[in-house]
Amino acid sequence: MSPLHDLLVVAHTHWDREWYHTAERFRARLVALIDELLDEPPPAGESFLLDGQAVLLDDYLSVRPERAAELSALLRDGRIEAGPWYVLADELIPGGEALVRNLLAGRGAVRRLRGEPPPVLYCPDSFGHPAALPALARGFGFQLVVLWRGYGGARWPAADTVRWRSLGGDDVLVHHLPPDGYEFGSSLPSTP
């Protein structure tokens, strides 16, 4: 008999504020998604991740300010998670100060609603990562970074989990998502 393994499933959405639809059309879809989460929240002990960015909270509350207390309660209980970024960053274009301020803004947005960002620096959609990413992560107390894109042309090294050490000596554990990244499982049938 094969050894048993724990399988961890992270219920989440990937969210582009605008891309192949207008920002307004995407916002309407976001409002429907969060309405559904508030109407049928994850059970106690489970959570739903809003793509590692806190701007979704502000976008939602700009349309549904009357639901702030419900959203706050689920964030406080860890049943909905957002952040640590305010917006998912293209990490190679802005300077280091902009990345720091992005993380500060994300943490602030979640904490204003009495939640705490997840303890993972989630970077699923950046097309590259600065050499100082371990130092940035450690500066905010993160020991784990999850990436998908921007990992190099060939899968280096062969493992999905590696330790990345910056030139200054800061190191983090990096988990590289599978080839389908944040879409893993998205093509599963809706009925068994």
Catalytic residue numbers? 125
Calculate helix-pair angle for 23-39, 68-76, nearest 10 degrees: 70
Nearest Cα to 103, choosing from 83, 118, 131? 83
Residue 117 preceded by cis peptide, ω within 30: no
CB neighbour class for 12 (10 Å; exposed up to 12, middle 13-18, buried from 19): middle
**SS3 label, residue 149:** coil
Asked if residues 132 and 96 have their Cβ atoms less than 8 Å apart, the reply is: yes
Asked if residues 113 and 71 have their Cβ atoms less than 8 Å apart, the reply is: yes
Rounded CA-CA distance 76/72 in Å is 6
Residue with the two structure tokens 């219920």: 11
